[in-house]
Amino acid sequence: MYVLVHFNRGVPRTAQEYIENTDSRPNYDNLRFYFTYLHYIVISVVDNILQIISEYFDLELKENKVHKRKVVEKLEEHSIQTVADIINTFYNDFEKHTDTRNTLAHRFSPYDIDRRSKLDDDRPHEKITFGFNNEFCDFEGEIANVEKSFDLLRSYIAQLRQEMNLS
């Protein structure tokens, strides 16, 4: 909700707009913060779902060893292929969202190109961008990415609930 609120309040589209329109600066700064925070929370939810699956099916994985690959391997060992397939499909579809979170939050090496949100004072008429997958999108693209990630997560949970017979 915070992401949409700050986006709908109006954000500068270029560095020039950011410089000239001081009223929209807080919206941009908050939008940038909440995008990163939102991605962190969603990734945490995804990680927690694996913990639940591990416990539900008694996969005997130590808490710090619960990762997608390990969970899928254990499910396959226990002939629980449908759940393994649901997890694999979700992670394949969700990969873009994971990449977005990682590129917004940090870069892995100081030698990598920094693709986090940025303003370029030297080119004030260029769009302010959020980067992901070595490409750039504007705010509308990122909002669409957030909405898509929620749709994927909602579908993932619904499929798991049905397969695990949870009400």
Domain extents in the chain: 2-163
Contacts of 42 (CB under 8 A, 6+ apart): 97, 101, 149, 150, 153
Q: Residue 103 burial by CB count (10 A; 0-12/13-18/19+): exposed, middle or buried?
A: buried
Predicted confidence (pLDDT) per residue in 13-37, tens digit: 777 787 788 888 788 778 777 777 8
pLDDT at 131: 47
Instruction: Give me the sign of the Cα torsion angle 90, 93, 99, 100.
Output: negative
- Residue 129 clears pLDDT 60, i.e. is over it: no
Q: Which helix (DSSP H) or strand (DSSP E) does residue 161 occupy?
A: helix 139-163
DSSP 43-88: HHHHHHHHHHHHHHTT----GGG--HHHHHHHHHHTT-HHHHHHHH
What's the farthest any 2 CA atoms get from each other in the chain?
61
The answer to whether 149 and 42 are in contact (CB under 8 A) is yes
pLDDT at 10: 81
Predicted confidence (pLDDT) per residue in 33-81, tens digit: 777 788 788 888 999 999 999 999 999 999 999 999 999 999 999 999 9
CA angle 39, 41, 46 (to 5 degrees): 95
> By C-alpha distance, which of 100, 112, 110, 137 is closest to 13?
137
- Residue 124 clears pLDDT 80, i.e. is over it: no
On whether the pTM is more than 0.85, the answer is no
Predicted confidence (pLDDT) per residue in 91-113, tens digit: 999 987 777 666 666 655 555 55
For the residues 122-126, what does the mean pLDDT come to?
63
